[in-house]
Amino acid sequence: MGDGLSGDLAFWHWLILGVLFILLEVFAPGLVFVWLGVAGLLIGLVAAAVPEMAWQYQVLLFAGLALVSVVLGRRAMNRQAEPEDHPTLNRRGLQHVGKAYPLHTPIANGLGKIKAGDTLWQVTGPTLPAGTTVEVTGADGVTLTVKLASEDTPGA
């Protein structure tokens, strides 16, 4: 085994690289660096067990292991992702899609307002007088898109 100065990679080089990748994940999260770190640690263990392995083979093994660990790690993380209990929690406008509300102010020049709960929402839609029941069909940020409600719309 070389001393690290002759071009050989010692097992501790890989262990340090693995730890650095894992620490990098802390500062730049994205679930990639941690898997590169795992590959580095594994190569460190292999290099310790087989000290005569040439550095070229170590690098090739690291590249292959890094690729496999990133793919398998991301696949496992995606599988464990739990479905959201409240998919509209941080998108409040989407909570109103499909519901009907009376217009608080008329829609003129494409803009009007509805009152949903305790909030006054800006709406876009066809020209309609105040008091007309409209159905929310979409949301773009804090602006809701509406159309004239049909009789089968909930709340109409």
Examine residue 34 and state whether it is found in any structural domain, yes or no.
yes
Q: Extract the tokens encoding 105.
A: 């102010």
DSSP state for residue 9 in the 8-state scheme: P
Residues 69 and 97 in one domain: no
34 and 66 in a single domain? The answer is: yes
Per-residue pLDDT of the chain (156 residues; tens, 9 = 90+): 444 444 678 889 999 999 999 899 888 877 788 889 999 999 999 999 998 999 999 999 999 999 998 888 888 877 765 666 665 555 777 788 888 999 999 999 989 999 887 889 999 999 999 999 999 998 888 889 999 988 766 665
DSSP characters for 109-136? TTEEEEEETTEEEEEE-S-B-TT-EEEE
At residue 25, the pLDDT reads: 86
| Pair 17, 68 in one domain | yes
Count the alpha carbons within 13 Å of 85 in the hemisphere toward its beta carbon.
0
Q: Is residue 98 part of a domain?
A: yes
Give the range of the structural domain holding residue 54, as residue numbers without chain letter. Answer: 11-80
CA distance 144 to 121: 7
Residues 74 and 20 in one domain: yes
- In 21-150, the DSSP E strands lie at 100-108, 111-116, 119-124, 133-140, 143-148
Q: Are residues 98 and 50 in the same domain?
A: no
**Could you say which of 57, 80, 103 is where a domain stops?**
80
Structural domain includes residue 2: no
| 71 within domain boundaries | yes
